[in-house]
Chains A and B, each alone.
Chain A
């Protein structure tokens, strides 16, 4: 048991566990903790061994060898809210729709909410905002077919096009009125814009861009897991004292639930007062993306990439053709760039671009660590290489031992037949 010269039992910091989050600094009553070289350091003479820092350390890097007395909790954010936490019930999913098309992430989230609801014994509701009531009703029914028990719906002229202010105002009003325990929103550009504004207005905890959700079986808090540091680190986050617990969730992570055409439920409709005069932002025009827009490597949903195995510059034409059929972009490994077959701007990897497409087709790329660092976060990786021992196969979702120069044109032909001009990968698959 560690003690200081005054004989006080003190805490100990396990340095290699400390992540430098600084959580412990402000909670220390005698200011005995401070940051040094990015990690917490203890002034042992000041420490009174109260153990407050032990509790707030996310990585258990601070220990104290004694029975920790039950200290009062850190002052809750909104003390009035704590008592009313119990008033917040049910899991809500925000149904994102724009120009009369719902975003599939909303349905994915209903499926996920159903799974979580089992553990909470709670109901699942969808919440839909929009301009035309009749259109929203179609989506409301669809939400229930995907698994929602009921739907909160609100329409207003000013919700016809998405704008932050009226949408945030509308959602805040409904949340305050019906008080959900959990509110899930797709981590799309719309969802993240809206969630940030709504959470700030509700003073609620919001965890962005989650890839995993779970209910803690002991305290029934929602535990939200998300990648940080560019995907190198995963963090699990929770929210203790404020409701609703809000999360935006990355599309294509949760499985798409099955539709049950027989499922029905209640629609609760609110007519919101959102006077247009109070909204400063006006949509002058909405410019729909061309079916196949050349958005470059950064934002491409599909990337067809070539390496040393492509043999020569001319062979990149087969990759371009496949990329065209899939509405994707062409990339390259360093070897192909060094060989002068394509320009440096095509290079994917540590010294080039880092990409995260939904589909990455690696053709004749062996998969050096330098290359993998730039593409290993892709949702689905297809590797085509003649060397069955190529390291690219270690991270590929699907691997084919074949000569890419000959196989890619065949693949292109089949894709062309199957897709017949439909933009399956880049857009919304319906």
Chain B
């Protein structure tokens, strides 16, 4: 291809498509290069989409996008070996449009999202791997794909190729991500009839539940499980740090099988058929692991930039917003015809002003603290379950005595000093 583009976007995930959509709306000649057969085929996430960031791009998108269920309940389950303690937030507000979040299937959603960019004028090239950047005088001027005649040139390249971006690494923006900053999430789509899902999760048509699970299911590792309800299936998965997985010697799918067989989980998925199995890497380093976000002629967005909020399990909304902001930066740069890193620093400024960086900054200590304090995932869920059982059990022991017993258990499990330290750490992590 001898024609030159204003911008090349690498990756047709939420970050890449948001960027492309914003660019073509501003009249910029844009091409998106995707390695999967179609946008969405290689993309994996838990399966929750937050409404706000996307609405800023496509108002009232929920009227046409292929969505599963809107989430009316967020549940956290602390799971011990054979019990669980749940906290649930459910509200009428969450059941009114515009809904806060939806469960989605990436294969259909991403394809729809990409089609919006395509009909706005973006060219989407599938099944093509960007192998490297073309750099001239320290400035990125294009990309080299794995196909014959496969060089493409543009004023700017937006890297939205997902976690562990090779392009950003080749450019020296970040070293290989350390194992303790990457989680491996494995996920299955489990098919169940609509009525069964609605009965088991106490839902009406179109309503959905998002459950996050911590405790025994991660077998002592730092990890979080999830179950989201789709129309006629469940998304069920679990993510653990690669470093932990390596230490434990467990295979990710063993972990998933163990999760599915847990006595508190098994009844929720009974009779379900596995439709799909996938695995995915998630950057977990948080704010402190974010690489420099630009170079001359080059911007990084979404997972590639490590923009994931591991506390609230949010990635796609950060991706959509960062993609949009990267595109805005490109539009400005194009106006001034200045593609230097200095001109592109506007991107960082825009991100800092948005919820993306504000949230990530707020939780900047969380990954490191959790990493050092595995008992948040091991001891506490068990202690909580035991306590709840103590309180609920009717055995003639006065409740006051029971409370003492619980407190003693906690101290035994963690030591008094440990409890105080944990409280402090937790505050530091999320406060």
Q: Please, which residues of chain A bring their CB within 8 A of the CB of B253?
A: 368, 370
Q: Please determine whether A369 and B274 come into contact, CB atoms closer than 8 angstroms.
A: yes
Check if A16 is an interface residue, CB within 8 A of chain B: yes
Q: B263-291 toward A: CB 8 Å interface, digit per residue (1/0)? A: 00000000000100100000000000000
Check if A228 is an interface residue, CB within 8 A of chain B: no
| C-alpha gap A216/B257 in the complex (Å) | 45
Within 8 A of A (CB), among B165-195: 194
Q: Please, which residues of chain A bring their CB within 8 A of the CB of B194?
A: 16
Q: B109-151 toward A: CB 8 Å interface, digit per residue (1/0)? A: 0000000000000000000000000000000000000000000
Q: A369-390 toward B: CB 8 Å interface, digit per residue (1/0)? A: 1100000000000000000000
Q: Please, which residues of chain A bring their CB within 8 A of the CB of B277?
A: 350, 369-370
Which B residue's beta carbon lies closest to that of A372?
B274
B143 CB to nearest chain A CB (Å): 29
Q: A10-27 toward B: CB 8 Å interface, digit per residue (1/0)? A: 000000100000000000
Q: Please, which residues of chain B bring their CB within 8 A of the CB of A350?
A: 277
| C-alpha gap A66/B277 in the complex (Å) | 46
B255 CB to nearest chain A CB (Å): 13
| C-alpha gap A350/B275 in the complex (Å) | 10
| C-alpha gap A368/B256 in the complex (Å) | 12
B392 CB to nearest chain A CB (Å): 33
B190 CB to nearest chain A CB (Å): 11
Q: Please, which residues of chain B bring their CB within 8 A of the CB of A369?
A: 274, 277
Chain B residues bordering chain A, tally (CB within 8 A): 5
| C-alpha gap A369/B272 in the complex (Å) | 12
| C-alpha gap A16/B277 in the complex (Å) | 24
A333 CB to nearest chain B CB (Å): 12
Q: Please, which residues of chain B bring their CB within 8 A of the CB of A16?
A: 194
Q: A351-379 toward B: CB 8 Å interface, digit per residue (1/0)? A: 00000000000000000111000000000
Q: Please, which residues of chain A bring their CB within 8 A of the CB of B274?
A: 369
B166 CB to nearest chain A CB (Å): 22
| C-alpha gap A369/B253 in the complex (Å) | 11
| C-alpha gap A350/B194 in the complex (Å) | 25
| C-alpha gap A16/B257 in the complex (Å) | 30
| C-alpha gap A90/B257 in the complex (Å) | 55
| C-alpha gap A370/B274 in the complex (Å) | 9
| C-alpha gap A295/B257 in the complex (Å) | 35
Q: Please, which residues of chain A bring their CB within 8 A of the CB of B257?
A: 368
| C-alpha gap A369/B194 in the complex (Å) | 23
Which A residue's beta carbon lies closest to that of B66?
A37
Within 8 A of B (CB), among A301-359: 350
Which B residue's beta carbon lies closest to that of A369?
B274
Which B residue's beta carbon lies closest to that of A15?
B194
| C-alpha gap A368/B277 in the complex (Å) | 12
| C-alpha gap A368/B254 in the complex (Å) | 10
Which A residue's beta carbon lies closest to that of B254?
A368
| C-alpha gap A369/B257 in the complex (Å) | 10
| C-alpha gap A368/B274 in the complex (Å) | 11
Which A residue's beta carbon lies closest to that of B231?
A16
| C-alpha gap A61/B52 in the complex (Å) | 37
Which B residue's beta carbon lies closest to that of A351?
B277
Q: Please, which residues of chain B bring their CB within 8 A of the CB of A370?
A: 253, 277
B241 CB to nearest chain A CB (Å): 20
Q: Please, which residues of chain B bring their CB within 8 A of the CB of A368?
A: 253, 257
Within 8 A of A (CB), among B265-320: 274, 277
A421 CB to nearest chain B CB (Å): 42
| C-alpha gap A350/B257 in the complex (Å) | 16
B388 CB to nearest chain A CB (Å): 32
| C-alpha gap A371/B58 in the complex (Å) | 42
B233 CB to nearest chain A CB (Å): 13
A368 CB to nearest chain B CB (Å): 7
Within 8 A of B (CB), among A46-99: none
Which B residue's beta carbon lies closest to that of A373?
B274
| C-alpha gap A370/B279 in the complex (Å) | 13
| C-alpha gap A369/B277 in the complex (Å) | 10
B198 CB to nearest chain A CB (Å): 12
| C-alpha gap A16/B197 in the complex (Å) | 14
Q: B15-54 toward A: CB 8 Å interface, digit per residue (1/0)? A: 0000000000000000000000000000000000000000
Q: B245-257 toward A: CB 8 Å interface, digit per residue (1/0)? A: 0000000010001
Within 8 A of B (CB), among A206-234: none
Which B residue's beta carbon lies closest to that of A335?
B251
| C-alpha gap A16/B198 in the complex (Å) | 14
A229 CB to nearest chain B CB (Å): 13
Name B's A-contacting residues (CB within 8 A). Answer: 194, 253, 257, 274, 277
| 8 smallest beta-carbon distances between A and B, as pairs | A369-B274, A16-B194, A370-B277, A350-B277, A368-B253, A370-B253, A369-B277, A368-B257
Beyond A350-B277, A368-B253, 6 additional contacts (C-beta under 8 Å) are A16-B194, A368-B257, A369-B274, A369-B277, A370-B253, A370-B277
8 contacts across the A-B interface (CB closer than 8 A): A16-B194, A350-B277, A368-B253, A368-B257, A369-B274, A369-B277, A370-B253, A370-B277
